[in-house]
Structures are given as structure tokens and as C-alpha cells.
Structure 1
Amino acid sequence: MFYAHTKAGVDENEWQLLDDHLIGVAKLASKFSAIFGGSDWGELVGKFHDYGKFKPDFQKKLHSNSNVIVDHKSIGARLVSDHLGQAGKLLSFCIAGHHGGLPDSTHRNLGESLDDILDKAGPYIDSVPELSSTFAPEKLPFTFTSVFQLSFFTRMLFSALVDADFLDTERYMDPEKFSKRESGPDLSVLYEALNKRISIFEPDTYINKLRCEILDHCLESAERDPGLFSLTVPTGGGKTLTSMAFALKHALKHGMRRVIYVIPYTSIIEQNAHVFKQIFPPGSVIEHHSNFDSSKLKDEEEIPSADLKHRLACENWDAPVVVTTNVQFFESLFAAKPSRCRKLHNLAGSVVILDEAQMLPVEYLKPCMRGLEELVENYNSSVVLCTATQPALQKSENFTDGLEIAAELAPDPDRMHREFKRTKLHDKGVLSLDEVAQEICGKDQGLCIVNTRARAAELFSKIKDEPGAGHLSALMCPAHRSEVLTDIRARLAAGKPCRVVSTQLIEAGVDVSFPVVIRELAGLDSIAQAAGRCNREGELAEMGQVSVFEPAEGLAGYFRQAAGNAQNTLRLHPEDSFSPQAMHHFFADTYWLKSDQLDKKKVLEDLNSPHGQWDFRTAAKKFRLIENEMVPIIVKYNDKAEKLLRDLVFADFPASILRKLQQFTVQVYTQQFAALNDMGAIEIVDESYAVLVDESLYDFEAGLLVPENISNDNFIV
């Protein structure tokens, strides 16, 4: 008898048979790959992924309950490589990486290469059962026109394998946990719930009439064939619910499985997820971001059922609606580790909404676009580029790297821009921060948005004694920001003084409306987003006043290029700097003139090599949207946070508590974290969770006070 897995305290006759595991994984991987036509490939890679467990050394390890590491991945990888030629090369990458991650093809100082792993199999190749002669897949599931498509297919097949392996192993090792997994309500139930919500919308004001027109047009467009769409909706046009309504109707029309809503900032993901959770039934929505590393959580035995189901769904995105971040979505598309790749096969047959699509990072734009194209072209998905300021991503004679946009979902974007126009833009030129502070203080109600956390804190310090002074940045925990926003909305509604300094986090979907907005010079898309916080409902008798300034103290390096492009556009389009024509010009400057910078780290080169010489691990290391990693610190913001922290210290099963504590965390960069740790300002609880113990470093107006010598211009939101 050959075994795959054992369990402590279980007799040998109850161990999982290796044949049962191979068949179970093969069936699941085949099912997961079927959505993109690769069911026979999935079956094959599942059948041979653990073939190395037939080795006598591995079976001896199981019987002796030894911790000795015995390689079991090289045998299967070598067998398919030897017998299947190019097809075997694809499969061998998956099998070789199903525990440690997709390897590089040859040695590049990033762990074992595929060549290294295949070489290991040599001495043991005769110790396993002979292969069947009828196991080769007949053909690739679709016509490939580029090498990148082959490497992408390999990654999707790898995803199907590792998720199948995780699940079949869990089914044996922890059947109770496995039974908690469920896919959530059917999309038809969600669509019915959303229809109930939007049915109460009335065209009772001019703005609401336009919102209803956009919604109706999008619902009509949902009948279109799957493809890559743009949705250009002016700020305040209701694009969040409109895009979701399109996605659900479109998915039902074409038999798609889920909606994935991708947001640029972690700081607002909970806000959008909350909107959907209020509409859809429980278990419909998961929010997946990086505030806490779930791998650090302990045994799930006593986690409340709803929390456990949420966590399990986050592992592989098996849920009707997934709300996630640009970082999580795009880094997963180019990841190598099994834990990051498990979800990828569930992107197939989905509708992907990219909210604020203009925020795709320029230096990674080519890889991002190629990944989106693949999902649409070969994986039965649709993608919606959703924004108020549609970037010039469409393929053209001048931009051959662009995307083939199937259709614009909104009615007549030029007309909608004119109809929604509620602001007038002014250029203030160069201003010192003292002069900016005077501008803010000279208005009863005004919002000033700057580019970095450090500048927001400095500017706020100059106005903090003014009536209604407020501050927003990601150095404040979500609970703190929520309270400040509630106070801001109340002051605005009551006509009380309200003078706010914020980082750009307020630009992405935060529903506030000021009569005056001042914006530090940045990209024109950011300036337009800032303008969306001014006269949002058209409530003023005349145009809202938006102005931009160039700080005398200088722009942070990250913003200089985009700000320069914006200044150029403002000169050429002085009458209407937010028009579709102006935006097209700005993004043309941003993309078309720097095509050599759109894959700055040459990620695609690692995945485009002929003959399967792909370097998956190197590509994954290069593709990091946030160069400086961030670490969560829990702050004792209020009594509720204090109680949760006390409970956490003594908790054997902390997952549920940690989810609640996300409202009381601040994300800091690793060098900031190190400096705070050196100061003795934080304590590590249970070797995993950082807690701010120097409470003097959390200001109830400005948030976490990081030492000045580690405040970096690139620390943005």
C-alpha cells in the first residue's frame, strides 16, 4: 500500500491512500481547469503531481513519522517532461512548484530552478509505477499567438493544481473545516437584491436623472458579448452600483461565476465592501487585502463560523463577489507562490471591475494590460475599466501597446461630462505651505488635498487651531477616519466651519462635497478626482471653485512627471481642463511618449522566452506594485480597541478578534516600523502582532506620529 498523508492518532488503515489523493486532485484540477478548456490538462497534472510519493524513501518517512525532508516533486515533473515534450514542459513547471512555488527555468539565485528539480529525479525514476501510454492531452485549449500566453496558461494550470491539492488534502486532514467551504448565494439572488435597491432610485433631481440614464444604458449594454469595456462616469455619477449592476446582469447572461471588484487603496476597500454587504445576503461578499497575514493565524477550531467561511473564501476567492486591491489582484497575476496563485483559476469566467482604472501604475502598465487581455481573450472573462477620467489605454496608431476596448458602457461620455460639470479650475501658481494655510483659513468650508502624509501633517499643524479644522490620512486608523468623515459631513450639512487637510485617499470614492477644493499639483486624473469632492450634487448656485498650486517646498519625486504632464495639459486646455479631450491628451503624454517605461523592470521578458525558458520566480520578485512593504500596527484608539487587545493577548484562536481590530490598525512602511520598534514604541504580541504601546505617538487629530527622520516623500496616502 502507498500512502499520501497520515494523521496523528489514526491507525494506518485510515491513512489516505496515494491513489485516492492523486485521483481526488486530478478530478478537482480538471474541474477547475474546465472553465478555460483545460480539463484534460488539469486531470493530468493532478494525476502526476505527487507521483514522487511512490518512492520507498517517502513511504518510509510516513511510517517512521520522521521530519526528514524527502523530495517528492521531481519524479512527476521529470516523467511528464520526458514523455510529453513541450506539453510536458508546461506541466513540469506546475508539478515542480506545487509546494515551493513556480521556479525559474534555469538557476538565477532564487532557489531551485526547474533544471535543478528535474535533475534530482534521475536516481529514483525506476522506483515508481510505469506510466500509462494513453495519458497525453490531445491539444492546447486555444490557439496561442504569443509565448506569454503559454506562460500565462501554465500559471493558470498551476493555480488549478495547487488549489485542488490544498482542498483534497484538507478534505482528508480536516473534514470539518472542508465542510465549512461554500460558494455563497447564486448570482441571480444578488442581482435580485441589487434590483430591489436600485428600484427606489428616482430621477427627482437633475443629477439623479443623469444617474438613472447612465444606469439604464449600462444595463442595456450588459447583453453584449464578453469583452473588455470602459465605463466613463463623471464623479458623482453612481458608478459603484452602476458597474455592479452591469456586472451581475452580464455574468448571468453569459454564465459567468463571480464579480471581482478591484480598488486602488486598502484604506477604502472596507467602505466599498460595506456598501455591497448592505445590499447582498450574508456570505456573498469577501474583502481581501493585506492588513493581516492569515498564515500567522492559529488553529481555526473555535473561530465563529461566518469568520471562518470568510477566511476560507479568501484563500481561493470562491465567492460570488470579491472586493480586493490593485496590489492583491495584479501581484497575484504574476505571483509564483502557491498561496498567492490558488485564486487565479477563479478569475476565469468572472467579471472584473477595475475601479479608478487610471491608477494602474505606469511602470507596470504593459504586464497589467497583457494580463487583462489574457483573461478576456482566453479565460471567458470580461473586464470593465471604470473611472471618471478614462485613461488613454485604447489601442491606436500612436499607442500600439494599448487595449482593444470592445465598447464604452456609459452613454455619450462627452455629453455626460458637460452635463455633470460642476466646477471651475484655477491655477494658483507657486505657493508656500504658509500661503496655502492662509487660503484654507480664508474659507469657512474648504478641502485641501496634498500628495504625501508628511505634507498633510505639516499643513494641518498650521491650521489645527482654526474652527472646524480636520485632517485625514492613512496614518489614522480606519475607525478614526470614519469618525472624522462623519463629523465633516455633519458640519458641511449644517453650514458650520469645516476646513480639512487630506492626502489623496479622500479622492477615491469618499462621498463629501465642499464648496472649495485646493489641490497640490499632481496628475490631471488626481486633480479631477479632487474636483469630484466639490459641488458634488450641484448644490451651489454657481460653479464650485477648484484650484491647484505648485508647492514652493517642491514636489515629491513620485509626482513630478505626472505633475509636469498635467501642467502641459492645463496650458493646452485652459477652458475645460477635465474634458475627455484634455484627459486623452494627459494620458497620451503619460503613456504614449514613454512606451519604453511601461514595463520598467522588464517583467514580460522573463515570461516571453521561447522554448519554455520562463523565469516565474524572477518575474514575481520584480512585479511589486508597492516597493516598500507595509506592516500593520494596532493602536489603542478607544475602549473597544483596548478590550479587543486584552482579549487578543489571551486568545488561543485570534482570527475573529484580528478581523475586528482591522478598524484600529495603521499601515506603516518597514523602515518606519523598524524605527518605532527601535524606540520601544511597539510591542509584538504572540510573536506576530505589533501593538503601539507608546500612546503619546498617536495623535487624535493627526494619527500616528512617525519620527521625522523616516518620513519619506513617497509615503503617499
Structure 2
Amino acid sequence: MKKDNVFLEPLAHSPPKNGMLGDPYSRHAEAVRQGALERAEAMLRHAHNPPQGLLKAIETAGIFHDLGKLDPVIQAVFRKGRGNKLKWDHIDAGVSYLSSKQDWMAAWLVRAHHAPGLPEKCEHFTEKTDRRLRGRRRDSDAKEKHDEQIAHTDQMIERYLGEHDAAVGMHNVERRRPSHGLSMRLALSCLVDADHSDTAFFDSNCNLPDAPKARWTERLNALCEYVRSLPTGDNEAKHARNKRRREFFEACLDSCIKDSLVACEGPVGLGKTTAVAAYLIRRAHDEDLRRLIIVAPFTNILTQTAERLRKALVLPGEQPGQVVVEHHHRADFSHHDDRELAVLWRAPIVLTTAVSFFETLAACDPATLRKFHAVPGSAIFIDEAHAALPTRLWPQNWKWVRELAECWGCRFVFASGSLARFWENQDIVDKPIKLPELLPTIQAEEVMREERHRVKFAETDGGRILNVQELNSFIRNEPGPRLVILNTVQNAAVVADAMRKSGMDVLHLSTALTPFDREIILKRVVRRLQFQDVRDWSLVATSCVEAGVDLSFRCAFRERFATASTVQVGGRVNRNGEYNDYGGGKVYDFALVDEGITQHPGANVSADILLGLMDTDKLNSANPADVVTLSMQQELKNCGGLPSDLLLKAELERNYPKVKELGRVIDADTRFVVIDPNLKENLKRHNPVDFKTLLQGSVQIWANKIDKLAVEPLTQNKRYSSDIYLWNYDYDPEFLGYMKGVLKMEEFISSGGAVI
């Protein structure tokens, strides 16, 4: 009899393998309640005037989130093992009970804790569709399906509650209004992370490792020692530049600025990464912040920054990869088997892309939001802020940034050598403000004078449009080493391929290569630049190297795009003044039209504005931040201002799916594609793959190209739409990456397709 009772104990999950026991409902419900509560308490320690009852709502959602799994039909399926389809949607029961008790905050959380996540409010709370969060989780399901689910839940709810109380005890539920926007997303993050983490624990019997302690005092001391021990330079130019870097570092370290939002307009090569890190780590120490989050637009910047910070901030006995964590791509997987691969922003120092950071603020799905509760109480460094977001996204994102700073204990620094001060523009933000500047005024004047001698900007052949052969001729005739930056992945591949076929010494670097292969090529570039034994060579790349990377070429060519992009390329030319004795560095602007060349849609307006600024020599005569801000203002004027802000409207109306859609940083639907052959084989066989290995061996490719190329999804089961695809065409790890396969497909190219 005892054996039967154990066997019939309600389950939350099926056994992970045949012959094993299922996951008891009582164990999982209590673990999720406790886990969600702990995450919420850690988050709320940094909140200023948080929504009343938020902690209790998260706890209540944790205990009732799986109430519907007590259905006898679902229990029978659980006991059969995994992979069987469930007739009933278990989320409806928790929503039914919590909404009947008027705890609407907890009801919203239970409704959203599985994909697709937070719904559109008016889909549930209007006279036409007054389902009030009830029914199946996908609003797109037929009305009959929702009605059937609601009727079944209403019939069974008392039975569920009886079994629930018997398993975990009775819990008081209070009336609570929902708190929407960031508060809703943060609360859902606590619930989802607790749920997913405990499910992973049941499957693997392994908890996530404890994150290293912040240890801000020790890390700040280590950073100071690292910076002060750097070489002063082996010539006068390097010595002067390194002196300015040390002065800026000390100024940031000793800064008395206490504002929650700060700007840093230091020009390229001033050592902003370590200086701003010192400022924010000191503030983290003073204000007991949880972590330092560094946000950058390109993954290669993250890799370079991570390497530097691991040298400077990792303490004896620590694992560098656990203290300073990189998060490339958007590795947020919605399927159960992929959860262990998610990156959770738990380390003391987190490096992530601008795409990942800002799309998390706009997210509604559980997989993306899972890590969001780690953000409150963080020092956040938006590096290369000029490229963090397109202007159209700043109105709503600025509201979110302000809310994180004012209500959730975050401290921000916006840094760039070409910083567009959008926060001062009333066409972009509803309440323009001026931010305090980290770079002291006297030092700013000095370094700006130096910039005039370091690099000049010029048009290629008077600004006329070139073809690939003409561009190659101009490149060949300029002294090396040379940097050539194109607007699209395809353009970079076409130009690099043509240059190599013409006999030129060329390296190629773009997101057509995996992070692993890009790192190898980047190291090759660095070695060539360091030793200078051969100077007649070129690097052809995309915008991934135009900002934030410590590279210095003799000259550069930049395909016409935005003013900020061209200014940033100046930071990759004569970076340390090493070519001052040869007349300094030069950046050439060019436009390109030819077979196989694609036009980036984002260049339509900005390129014309840049051409006008080049014609009036503004890039050589004005402060870079002033020029970029002027360019932004002209672009808004030429476009008639920002379009009607649908993102602001969607957030105000609590249309969470629309906010996610409109909040995409890159307005494109890309897919995660695995390149590495061994990695593909391990995934097919369901062998364990850690997240770093997955990220290092994969790329992002546009979804429409996935369809055109018939790229194979990892999951062939028609019940799922896979998050992961497998590349089976030619791949060149030394040069063109996956573009080798694309360029061979003449029909694809001639049909007008493009890989951007």
C-alpha cells in the first residue's frame, strides 16, 4: 500500500529517463516558491518605492504556478514518461484560482510563465474578449479551444485545490492589483528563473554553481594595480598618450559624480573601458551594488574587453570565466532541452551585447526575461553608446533606463568617442536633461587638440560612387596596413574576395565567421599590427571592428553610412600616434555599387547627411560629439522627426507581444545556426554541450535566408519549431566563413538575395 501511495503522489514533471521516479508536485512547488522569493528579495533590496505587495505576489505565483498539472489526465501522461502531448493547458488553473481571489498580479505571472509569455492586455480585458487571462496560453488558438479549456478548469478546480492543499498546505491569497511594465517583467523573471532552475536541478540532480562574490574593494585595488603597471610607451607619442590615459583613469577613480546617469565623451584611445570600470566599481562598492554589466554593440568588443578585465579584476584562486562572463548572440532558448544553455547574468562582471540588453527590457517571453531580475542594483556601462540603439528606439528605452536608475538602483554611464547626446533632444525624450561628464573639462580640451593632428577625414575621388574594381585600385595605392569597412556581410565578402583574387594580401573579419574563428583572425590581425614586418596588407571587415577594438592602421576606407560610424573608424587609424611622423592617419569615405553589392537600408538618409558634412569639412574641424549630435538632429529633420512612436503606445497599452516586436534592436528575424561539425554531431546525439561552446561555434543568419537555403533545423519533431539550425554548406574558417557557401550560389545572388 505504501508503494502505491508513493507511486500516486502528484507529479510536476515526468521522470527524465525510464526507470526513474517523477518529480513530486509538492517538492517542485515549494522549491519554486522559495527560489522565486529569494530572487525577488535580492532584487527588491535595491528598489526604491517598489509596487506594494510585489514580493508576496511573486511568492504566491510560485506556489500556484503548476496547479493545473494536478489534472488526472495530465498526471496520467506524466507517468507514461516524456514526449507525450498534453490535452489540457495547466496554466489556466492557477490563473482561475488567483483571479477569483483578485490577486491579479500573481494571475498575470502564472499566465505568462510559459511561452509565449506576457499577453496583450486588451486581448483579455475588453467587452469583446473578456477572458481575463483565462484559457489556453496562446491567444491565437481558436475561441472554441479557449472555451473548452475554461469549462474543463471550472469543472475540476475544486479537485485541484484539494490535492494542492494536501500536497503543500494552504496558502492565503490577498487582493492585489497588477503592476505593469518593467515591474511585471522583473517579477516574471524571478518566477521563471526559479521554475527553470529547479526543473534543470530535477533533471540533472545538479544545482547551478554559486556565483563568485562581488569583492569590490579587492577588485578595485587589483584594477588600479593593473593600470598603474602598464608600460608608459617606447616613444614620445605613446608616452604622451599613455600619460593622458593614466590621468583620465585617476580622474574617473576619484570622481565625485553621484548622479545615476552619467556621460563620458572621451575620444578614442583614452582608455575608457578601464577608467569607466574603475568609476563604476567604486560606486558599486560605495552603494553595495550587485554586479557590473558592460553593454557593447559588437561581440568582438566584448571578447577584447573580457580578456582585459580578466587580467585586471580576477583575484587569486578564482576561475576567470566565472568572474567575467561573456554573453554573445541571444542564446535564450524556449525549449526545455535548451534551458541549461541559457546565460543568466549571474557573475559579478557581465558582458553582453546591446541587442541582448535592450531587447531584454522589451521582452515578454520567459526565456529572454529569465535573467532580467539580475539587472536591478547593477552598475551598467553602455560602451560605444552611439551604436547601442537606432534613434527610433530611444524614446521608450530612455524611459526604461530612467526607471531602472530611479526605481531599481541601477547606475549608468554612456560612453563613446562619438557620443550623440540624444537625451538633450526634445524630439527624442519627453524631458530633455544634461548629463554630468566624466572627462574633466581641462583634459577634454587638451585631448581634442591632439585629435586634430592624429587623423584626418577625406572623400574618395571627390565622393563619387565607385565599383569594386575602382575601390580596389584606390585601396592598393594607399600605404598599409589598411582597414576597409563595408556596410553588409555580403559586401565585405565580395570586396575581400575580389581583392584576394587580384593578388592583394587580405584578411577578412565579419559575422560570417563564428566567434571562435573571428577570435583567431583578430589575433592574427593584432600580431601583424604589432610586428609591422609587412605593411602592405589590408583587413576587410564589417562594422564589428569600427568601434571599441584596440587596433591601429595607417589608413581606413569606410563605406558611406552614418556620421558616427565614420568618426569611430578614426579610432582604428593612427590610434597611438605612431604614424604622426608620416603625416598622421587618414579615413576615406566611399560609396559602392556593383554586381553582388547590397545597399544597407539604414544608410538611405544618414549617408546623404554624412556626405554634406564631409563637403563642409565638419569632421576635421568640430568636436566629434558635436558633429554626431548635429548629424542626428539633421537626420530627424530630414525624416520629419521620429515616426509616431508605436513602441511607446504599445508599452502604455500593455501590449507586451507588440512591445517585444517593436523593441527589436535589429529589425530582422535571425536564426541561431551551428557551424562547428563536432558541435552539430553532439547536439544531434543530445550529448551535453556547455553554453560557451555553443556560442563559439555558431553564427546568426537571417530567417529568410534559412528558408531559401533550406538550412536544417536541429529539432525535426513537428511539434516544435527549433531554436537551433545546422549549417551544411561550404564554410571557410580562414577567410569568408559561411559566405563562401553563399557566394558559390550564383542563382541566390542573382535573384537579389543578400546576407546582411
State TM-score, norm by structure 1. 0.82
Alpha-carbon distance between aligned partners in 2 of 1:607 and 1:618, rounded to the nearest angstrom: 8
Alpha-carbon distance between aligned partners in 1 of 2:130 and 2:455, rounded to the nearest angstrom: 57
Q: Which residue of 1 aligns with 2:138?
A: none
Q: Which residue of 2 aligns with 1:96?
A: 111
Alpha-carbon distance between aligned partners in 2 of 1:604 and 1:225, rounded to the nearest angstrom: 29
1:476 aligned to 2:510? no
Q: Which residue of 1 aligns with 2:631?
A: 586
1:513 aligned to 2:548? no
Q: Tell me, yes or no, if the aligned pair for 1:185 and 1:320 is still in contact at 8 Å.
A: yes
Q: Deviations over 1:144-182 (max 9, x none)?
A: xxxxx84222222222222233345556x2583226343
Alpha-carbon distance between aligned partners in 2 of 1:373 and 1:415, rounded to the nearest angstrom: 32
1:494 aligned to 2:538? no
Give the C-alpha shift of residue 407 in structure 1: 1.5
1:439 aligned to 2:474? yes
Alpha-carbon distance between aligned partners in 2 of 1:323 and 1:13, rounded to the nearest angstrom: 35
Report the residue type matching 1:103 in the other structure.
P
Q: Tell me, yes or no, if the aligned pair for 1:298 and 1:653 is still in contact at 8 Å.
A: no
Aligned-partner SS, 1:631: strand
Find 1:631's aligned residue among 661, 664, 671. 671
Give the C-alpha shift of residue 535 in structure 1: 0.7
Alpha-carbon distance between aligned partners in 2 of 1:185 and 1:90, rounded to the nearest angstrom: 32
1:214 aligned to 2:248? yes
Give the C-alpha shift of residue 229 in structure 1: 1.2
Structure 1 pair 56–242 and aligned structure 2 pair: CA distance change class (3 A): closer
Q: Which residue of 1 aligns with 2:365?
A: 337
Give the C-alpha shift of residue 10 in structure 1: 7.2
Find 2:458's aligned residue among 421, 426, 431. 426
Aligned-partner SS, 2:184: helix
Q: Deviations over 1:549-584 (max 9, x none)?
A: 233559533212111222333345534255332222
Report the residue type matching 2:423 in the other structure.
Q
Q: Tell me, yes or no, if the aligned pair for 1:357 and 1:385 is still in contact at 8 Å.
A: yes
Q: Provide structure 2 residue ranges, at least 5 long, that are not aligned to the other structure.
A: 80-84, 136-146, 234-238
1:637-716 to structure 2, matched below 5 A, reads: 644=678, 648=682, 652-656=686-690, 659-660=692-693, 662-677=695-710, 690=725, 692-695=727-730, 698=732, 700-703=734-737, 704-705=739-740, 706=742, 707-708=745-746, 710=748, 715-716=755-756
Q: Tell me, yes or no, if the aligned pair for 2:267 and 2:447 is still in contact at 8 Å.
A: yes
1:533 aligned to 2:572? yes
Q: Which residue of 2 aligns with 1:547?
A: 588
Alpha-carbon distance between aligned partners in 2 of 1:664 and 1:713, rounded to the nearest angstrom: 25
The farther-off stretch of 189-198 and 204-213 is 189-198
Q: Which residue of 1 aligns with 2:121?
A: 105
Q: Percent identity?
A: 22
Q: Tell me, yes or no, if the aligned pair for 1:431 and 1:552 is still in contact at 8 Å.
A: yes
Structure 1 pair 242–182 and aligned structure 2 pair: CA distance change class (3 A): same
Structure 1 pair 12–329 and aligned structure 2 pair: CA distance change class (3 A): closer
Give the C-alpha shift of residue 348 in structure 1: 0.5
Q: Which residue of 1 aligns with 2:95?
A: 77
The farther-off stretch of 486-495 and 349-358 is 486-495
Q: Tell me, yes or no, if the aligned pair for 2:61 and 2:107 is still in contact at 8 Å.
A: no
Alpha-carbon distance between aligned partners in 2 of 1:64 and 1:444, rounded to the nearest angstrom: 71
Report the residue type matching 1:155 in the other structure.
R
Q: Deviations over 1:266-288 (max 9, x none)?
A: 35433333333343242112222
Q: Which residue of 2 aligns with 1:144?
A: none
Q: Tell me, yes or no, if the aligned pair for 1:51 and 1:72 is still in contact at 8 Å.
A: no
Q: Which residue of 2 aligns with 1:569?
A: 613
Q: Tell me, yes or no, if the aligned pair for 2:492 and 2:541 is still in contact at 8 Å.
A: yes
Q: Tell me, yes or no, if the aligned pair for 1:518 and 1:549 is still in contact at 8 Å.
A: yes
Structure 1 pair 710–22 and aligned structure 2 pair: CA distance change class (3 A): same
State TM-score, norm by structure 2. 0.78
Q: Which residue of 2 aligns with 1:62?
A: 75
Give the C-alpha shift of residue 400 in structure 1: 4.5
Give the C-alpha shift of residue 524 in structure 1: 0.8
Report the residue type matching 2:576 in the other structure.
E
Count, aligned residues? 673
Q: Deviations over 1:207-259 (max 9, x none)?
A: 111111211111122x5335111111211111222222222111111111011
Aligned-partner SS, 1:385: strand
Q: Tell me, yes or no, if the aligned pair for 1:557 and 1:713 is still in contact at 8 Å.
A: no
Aligned-partner SS, 1:43: helix
Aligned-partner SS, 1:16: helix
Q: Tell me, yes or no, if the aligned pair for 2:557 and 2:590 is still in contact at 8 Å.
A: yes
Give the C-alpha shift of residue 44 in structure 1: 2.7
Q: Tell me, yes or no, if the aligned pair for 1:507 and 1:529 is still in contact at 8 Å.
A: yes
Alpha-carbon distance between aligned partners in 2 of 1:649 and 1:26, rounded to the nearest angstrom: 31
Report the residue type matching 1:407 in the other structure.
P
Q: Which residue of 1 aligns with 2:142?
A: none
Alpha-carbon distance between aligned partners in 2 of 1:625 and 1:570, rounded to the nearest angstrom: 28
1:617 aligned to 2:649? no
Q: Which residue of 1 aligns with 2:141?
A: none
Q: Tell me, yes or no, if the aligned pair for 1:191 and 1:245 is still in contact at 8 Å.
A: yes
Report the residue type matching 2:227 in the other structure.
I
The farther-off stretch of 489-498 and 395-404 is 395-404
Q: Tell me, yes or no, if the aligned pair for 1:226 and 1:376 is still in contact at 8 Å.
A: no
Q: Tell me, yes or no, if the aligned pair for 2:108 and 2:118 is still in contact at 8 Å.
A: yes
Q: Deviations over 1:621-676 (max 9, x none)?
A: 332223333334455xxxxx66x4597378552314x7446444443222333333
The farther-off stretch of 179-188 and 90-99 is 179-188
1:523 aligned to 2:553? no
1:450 aligned to 2:486? yes
Q: Which residue of 1 aligns with 2:398?
A: 369
Structure 1 pair 56–589 and aligned structure 2 pair: CA distance change class (3 A): closer
1:605 aligned to 2:649? yes
Report the residue type matching 2:455 in the other structure.
T
Q: Tell me, yes or no, if the aligned pair for 1:277 and 1:285 is still in contact at 8 Å.
A: yes
1:177-196 to structure 2, matched below 5 A, reads: 177-178=206-207, 180-196=209-225
Give the C-alpha shift of residue 324 in structure 1: 1.1
1:287 aligned to 2:316? no
Q: Which residue of 2 aligns with 1:233?
A: 266
1:165 aligned to 2:195? yes
Q: Which residue of 2 aligns with 1:145?
A: none
Q: Deviations over 1:184-227 (max 9, x none)?
A: 55344433332332121355511111111211111122x53351
1:2-401 to structure 2, matched below 5 A, reads: 5=12, 8=15, 16=26, 20-21=30-31, 23-24=33-34, 27-28=37-38, 30-35=40-45, 36=47, 37=50, 40-51=53-64, 58=71, 61-62=74-75, 65=78, 68-81=86-99, 83-84=101-102, 88-100=103-115, 101-107=117-123, 115-117=132-134, 120=150, 128=161, 135-136=174-175, 150-168=180-198, 173=202, 176-178=205-207, 180-201=209-230, 203=232, 205-221=239-255, 223-279=256-312, 280=314, 281-282=318-319, 283-290=322-329, 311=341, 314=343, 316-359=344-387, 360-396=389-425, 400-401=429-430
Tell me how large the CA RMSD over aligned residues is.
3.8
Structure 1 pair 78–63 and aligned structure 2 pair: CA distance change class (3 A): closer
Give the C-alpha shift of residue 72 in structure 1: 4.3
Q: Tell me, yes or no, if the aligned pair for 1:45 and 1:95 is still in contact at 8 Å.
A: no
Alpha-carbon distance between aligned partners in 1 of 2:41 and 2:617, rounded to the nearest angstrom: 54
Q: Deviations over 1:512-534 (max 9, x none)?
A: 21222222211110001111111
Structure 1 pair 96–437 and aligned structure 2 pair: CA distance change class (3 A): same
The farther-off stretch of 285-294 and 348-357 is 285-294
Report the residue type matching 1:250 in the other structure.
R
Alpha-carbon distance between aligned partners in 1 of 2:20 and 2:521, rounded to the nearest angstrom: 56
Give the C-alpha shift of residue 97 in structure 1: 1.1
Q: Tell me, yes or no, if the aligned pair for 2:266 and 2:272 is still in contact at 8 Å.
A: yes
The farther-off stretch of 347-356 and 619-628 is 619-628
Aligned-partner SS, 2:586: strand
Structure 1 pair 595–278 and aligned structure 2 pair: CA distance change class (3 A): farther
